[in-house]
Chains A and B, each alone.
Chain A
Amino acid sequence: MKRIRISRCGSQLLSQPTTIPRRPICPYAAAALQRKTTTSHNHRIQVRLQSTSAASDAFDLEEASSGSGSQPSKSSRLETKHTPLEGLPSPHPSAAERSSKLAALRSRLSLPERFPLQTLARTLVHPSADPNPAFNNASLAVMGANLLGYYTTEHIICNYPRLPIEVLFAAQEAYIGPKALATIAAEWGIEAVAEPGGEVDPGLLQLKRLRPGENPNPGSLQPFKPVKWNITTTHRIMKGDEFGVKKAFGSAPLSVNQPVTLETAAQSFVRALVGSLHLHLGRPLAKRFFRDHFMSRHLDISKLFDFRTPTWDLSKLCAREGFEPPIARLISETGRLSRHPVFVVGVYSGNDKLGEGVGSSLDEARVRAAAAALKGWYLYKPLDVTVPSSTEGIELEKSNWRPNLVDCGEVIC
């Protein structure tokens, strides 16, 4: 759908804990800035810088010294005063090293040792548990969502260039939609806390749970409702996100202390994990992780179609492509005069069979055959596919670009 500038995203995220960014990069950060809640956590920022940042140690120290130099009085006061663990909104980063759950999760996902446990712990903190953007996973989740959308979209579009846009959106939803991500998190064995806090195990998903019967979207957080009811497909492509839905981000800043459902928190964890993998391990390993955990899930795209007038669509398609008009022919039948007849009808254009359908009436078999022929058209898969992201990176890992097939579009009646 859209091209993201990965280099900019990465540098912003890694240097984020030093100072509050002037331009907030995600709505959670914007909301937190408005509420001025970040000042109470500055004592933890210093600790965090030395432990979780992916950059070198010298860089860390330099940043730490500059950070403490900018706010000398407050940081020194807070460092001397010891805060009890129960007072923290989420587990302390230093607890990540001692958590067996985090180590188990890292080895279960086959992540290398150089992926820090502190970052893994940070991806498990949802903004509803910890409103501080330096400690929750909001920024990583935004980046991970963009990466997931980019990789999935290019995979589907390059492999199925003729797919109608509605089916494309549905396939995106099936691969990386909220429900799919929540399922993936559950399959990874992610467990959630009953109540977030500094004393709980950092290997648990930290979120403030929605109470039973509570409205998940109160007040300004209603999901986007279109002003116009007839939103066009073009509008959905241009203005929507990868699922064809207008983004909730940007329209209204999300409040940080609002309770969320487990599904929301789990999906933000999966996105944040992909984002942090990209930052710490680089593009090739992140892509391999994406291929192993997301593209390996089987999705039968042929089940996503819903044709209303398949025979009409097919004759329009044949007229557009310059084929002979389609003719339904009865290939075989049995029990025409019985209670359960079966007809096998094929749709032919000239001498070529386009599709075949089975039905208990001639009309049913004809319509099914036309739908099968349309699926045969839309589900065309080229033999040689070069996705755009495979040409990025250094010389060794990138492949030569060969242009993909670009289709002129779906049949519109």
Chain B
Amino acid sequence: MSTSTPITRLCTKAPRTSLLPFVQLRHESTSRRHKKLMHLPEAPSYTPTRSAPTLVFNPPSSAPSAYHTPLKFLPPNDRRRKLNTEALKYASATSHRQQTSALAAPGTPLHIASHLPPKPSSMLPPPVRKPYEKKYTLGEVEIAEIRRLRLSDPDKWTRVKLAEKFGCTQFFVGMLVRVPEKHQRVETSHQKARDMWGERRRGAREDRIRRRAMWGRDE
């Protein structure tokens, strides 16, 4: 059999348009590379520092128990503080020993191509919501002004508008001043709308409330 390139492939090959140099792209096309990629580092508990036989405790990942008090919540004279610090030191030493090489650091191509789980790092995970600093800027004058505006025209000066104007939360406005008449009116109209719901929508809303209450009970 001939090993030369067939004529058809030579004809269909597009000419090089760019003058940029070739960049080598390494895919996981061979079994060797795939195997290398699947090679996971051993768990820290399997890599003892001593040669003497030790107890290997490597439980599967699960939600932490509520009975394990976090380090911050321990009283200052608790003995577990010292033990916890030692365990933390050991864990950080282990993770430093198995730290990701500089080539595979985040942002490099090697990191992106990899399907491996992220190696341990000292970086904190990203916050769910943008952290904000609590401001205690409103004084007596502003609070009196908020109350006056809200009571003078509750339809115009809603909680949202007042919160935007004074730079506080809607919740804080609700703590400062209440308008029972408007609350009654809005509640009646909402109830009227709720009464028109069918069975499915009502059931779905009730289930949502029930599920929300289960969050606090940890069910």
Contact = CB atoms under 8 A, between A and B. Distances in A.
A346 B218 CA distance: 15
Interface in A299-344: 302-303, 305-310, 323, 325, 327-331
A373 B64 CA distance: 10
A376 B75 contact: no
Given A323-B72, A330-B128, A349-B72, A381 B215 contact: no
Interface stretch (A30-38, A55-63, A74-82, A360-368): A360-368
A69 B4 CA distance: 131
Interface stretch (A1-9, A198-206, A220-228, A350-358): A350-358
Interface string A358-396: 110010111110011101110111110000000000000
The prevalent SS among residues of B at the interface is loop
Contact of A367 (B64, B67, B71, B215): B215
Interface stretch (B14-22, B32-40, B119-127, B159-167): B119-127
B127 A354 contact: no
Interface in B43-88: 63-64, 66-75, 78-80
Contacts of A182: none
A280 to B, nearest CB: 38
B122 to A, nearest CB: 9
Interface of B: 63-64, 66-75, 78-80, 124-129, 131, 134, 215-218
Contacts of B80: 383
A370 B109 CA distance: 37
Nearest to A308: B216
Given A372-B66, A376-B68, A379-B67, A330 B126 contact: yes
7 contacts: A305-B217, A325-B134, A329-B128, A330-B126, A330-B128, A349-B72, A380-B74
Contacts of A330: 125-128
A345 interface: yes
Contacts of B73: 354, 376-377, 380
A377 B68 CA distance: 9
Nearest to B72: A352
Nearest to A307: B216
A348 interface: yes
A290 to B, nearest CB: 23
Nearest to A377: B73
Contacts of A325: 134
A354 B70 contact: yes
A405 interface: yes
Given A306-B216, A375-B218, A358 B72 contact: no
Contacts of A364: 215
A367 B78 CA distance: 29
Given A309-B216, A330-B126, 13 more contacts: A302-B218, A303-B218, A305-B218, A306-B216, A310-B215, A310-B216, A330-B128, A346-B125, A367-B215, A376-B68, A377-B73, A379-B67, A380-B75
B128 A405 contact: no
Contacts of A383: 78-80
Nearest to B64: A356
Interface in A261-319: 302-303, 305-310
Nearest to A349: B72
A371 B71 CA distance: 17
Contact of A372 (B64, B78, B127): B64
A350 B218 CA distance: 25
Contact of B78 (A302, A359, A382): A382
B128 A379 contact: no
Given A302-B67, A376-B68, A377-B73, A368 B131 contact: no
Given A354-B70, A379-B69, A329 B124 contact: yes
Nearest to A383: B79
Contacts of B78: 382-383
A350 B63 CA distance: 21
A405 B131 CA distance: 34
A331 B121 CA distance: 12
